[in-house]
């Protein structure tokens, strides 16, 4: 991977909060969307080729609205991908390409978190990158290359890099991007199952709720954390919030709901809804918008984490996973009402979700500086 000659490898020791950085909301302007071209056969058994075409659809709908940066494992992979993108009408001159080895393609969780400091003048803002520790969601053993991805991204683009730490823990704080969602005004969403339950998939065994809130304050600028209970069945990340609830406005949250009382998701999603209905921000109670769950999807007897909440909000376009389900049209209609100034596009995600993730998991926004 090439590097910027102006980049210095030293990690910034002052916290982002102390320097005026915060995490913008996803609807705030992007410079780019980052993706890692799919290459791990184990994530999509027998479906990797069709998944690459699904990536092409993501890029085709993103490219007219913002820069798309694609991480490739090799020149050969890049050449093959660019051929595919040409076939579906993508202007590849608008695609930035980075060569870097990774274990998987879930850049939302492995690429770190972009943060931004607003300057006093319009041309004096700055974008930086929070480099969380990554341990394969506490489940997989092949994660070393993914753990290095934020450092490589910061190097190639010349961004300052922050390595989160806490005095209670002698190693970097482990956190994935899919486990948090923010409104850009200091409020965050996360789940207890993901960040606090270390019995099943350990991330930060010595850190409790207060410790993690301190970290999220120091590194993302959050001063109000809304804790939901858990995630959905089939989510092998153990409770990521981007499958269950997302900010769609400063004081509005869209939430997944299940009406079938016999479904395993019914009780956890109802509890999350109840928590949101009593949650408060500085602006008062949240406006909560329910979005139905699709019918259960299975592969080889395993429940897949199909959810419309795994959408991605880009400049002027909202990409929503669809599942050949009767609820697809309902979900798309809700998003059209929530984002009247955006084009709402359904992305066929039946093959994507075979990898136990979807549209949001595969994308990472870089704010406009």
Q: Evaluate whether residue 10 is within a structural domain.
A: no
* Block residue for tokens 């059209």: 336
Residue 344 main-chain phi, psi, to 5 deg: -100, 125
Among residues 184, 254, 186, the alpha carbon closest in space to that of 30 is found at: 184
CA–CA distance, 101 with 71 (Å, rounded to integer): 8
Q: What is the pLDDT of residue 319?
A: 98
Q: Evaluate whether residue 12 is within a structural domain.
A: no
Taking the mean position of all CA atoms in its chain, how far away is CA 340?
A: 23
- The parent domain of residue 35 ranges over 17-367
Residue 176 main-chain phi, psi, to 5 deg: -110, 150
Q: What is the pLDDT of residue 3?
A: 37
Q: What is the pLDDT of residue 8?
A: 35
Q: Evaluate whether residue 7 is within a structural domain.
A: no
Q: Evaluate whether residue 260 is within a structural domain.
A: yes
A 10 A CB-CB count for 317 gives: 17
Helices H / strands E in the chain, number of each: 9, 21
CA–CA distance, 202 with 10 (Å, rounded to integer): 28
Q: What is the pLDDT of residue 11?
A: 60
Q: Evaluate whether residue 11 is within a structural domain.
A: no
Among residues 150, 167, 213, 136, the alpha carbon closest in space to that of 366 is found at: 150
Check if the beta carbon of residue 149 is closer than 8 Å to that of residue 107: yes
Q: What is the pLDDT of residue 1?
A: 41
CATH number of the domain enclosing 300: 3.75.10.10
CA–CA distance, 115 with 21 (Å, rounded to integer): 6
255's CB contacts (< 8 A; 6+ apart) are 244, 245, 269, 272, 273, 276, 288, 289, 290, 291, 309
- Among this protein's residues, is 194 annotated catalytic? no
**pTM, entire model:** 0.95
Annotated catalytic residue, options 359, 361, 362, 364? 361
Check if the beta carbon of residue 342 is closer than 8 Å to that of residue 61: no
Q: What is the pLDDT of residue 10?
A: 44
| Per-residue pLDDT tens digits of the chain, which is 369 residues long | 433 333 333 466 789 999 999 999 999 999 999 999 999 999 999 999 999 999 999 999 999 999 999 999 999 999 999 999 999 999 999 899 999 999 999 999 999 999 999 877 666 799 999 999 999 999 999 999 999 999 999 999 999 999 999 999 988 999 999 999 999 999 999 999 999 999 999 999 999 999 999 999 999 999 999 999 999 999 999 999 999 999 999 999 999 999 999 999 999 999 999 999 999 999 999 999 999 999 999 999 999 999 999 999 999 999 999 999 999 999 999 999 999 999 999 999 999 999 999 999 999 999 998
Q: Evaluate whether residue 303 is within a structural domain.
A: yes
Tokens of 51: 């998944």
195's CB contacts (< 8 A; 6+ apart) are 175, 179, 203, 204, 212
Q: What is the pLDDT of residue 78?
A: 97
Distances (CA, A) of 228 to 194, 232, 239: 10, 12, 10
Q: Specify the number of domains making up the chain.
A: 1
Q: What is the pLDDT of residue 122?
A: 61
């Amino acid at each position: 991977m090439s590097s910027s000659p102006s980049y210095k490898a030293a990690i910034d020791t002052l916290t982002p909060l102390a320097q005026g950085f915060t995490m913008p909301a996803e609807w705030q302007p992007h410079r780019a969307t980052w993706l890692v071209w799919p290459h791990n056969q184990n994530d999509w058994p027998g479906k990797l080729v069709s998944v690459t075409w699904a990536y092409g659809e993501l890029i085709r709908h993103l490219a007219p609205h913002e820069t798309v940066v694609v991480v490739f494992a090799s020149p050969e992979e890049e050449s093959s991908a660019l051929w595919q993108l040409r076939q579906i009408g993508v202007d590849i001159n608008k695609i930035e390409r980075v060569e870097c080895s990774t274990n998987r393609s879930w850049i939302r969780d492995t690429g770190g978190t972009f943060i931004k400091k607003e300057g006093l003048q319009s041309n004096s803002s700055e974008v930086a990158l929070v480099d969380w520790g990554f341990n394969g969601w506490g489940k997989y053993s092949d994660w070393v290359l993914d753990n290095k991805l934020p450092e490589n991204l910061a190097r190639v683009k010349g961004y300052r890099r922050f390595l989160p730490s806490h005095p209670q823990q002698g190693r970097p704080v482990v956190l994935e991007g899919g486990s948090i969602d923010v409104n850009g005004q200091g409020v965050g969403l996360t789940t207890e199952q993901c960040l606090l339950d270390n019995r099943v998939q350990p991330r930060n065994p010595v850190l409790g709720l207060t410790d993690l809130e301190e970290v999220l304050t120091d590194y993302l600028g959050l001063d109000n954390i809304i804790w939901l209970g858990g995630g959905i069945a089939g989510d092998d990340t153990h409770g990521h919030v981007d499958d269950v609830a997302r900010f769609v406005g400063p004081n509005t949250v869209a939430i997944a709901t299940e009406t079938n009382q016999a479904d395993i998701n019914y009780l956890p999603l109802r509890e999350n809804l109840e928590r949101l209905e009593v949650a408060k921000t500085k602006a008062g109670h949240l406006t909560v918008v329910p979005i139905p769950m699709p019918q259960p999807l299975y592969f080889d007897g395993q429940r897949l984490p199909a959810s419309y909440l795994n959408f991605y909000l880009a400049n002027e376009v909202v990409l929503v996973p669809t599942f050949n389900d009767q609820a697809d049209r309902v979900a798309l209609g809700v998003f059209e009402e929530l984002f009247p100034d955006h084009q709402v596009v359904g992305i066929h995600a039946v093959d994507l979700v075979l990898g136990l993730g979807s549209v949001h998991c595969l994308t990472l926004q870089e704010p406009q500086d």
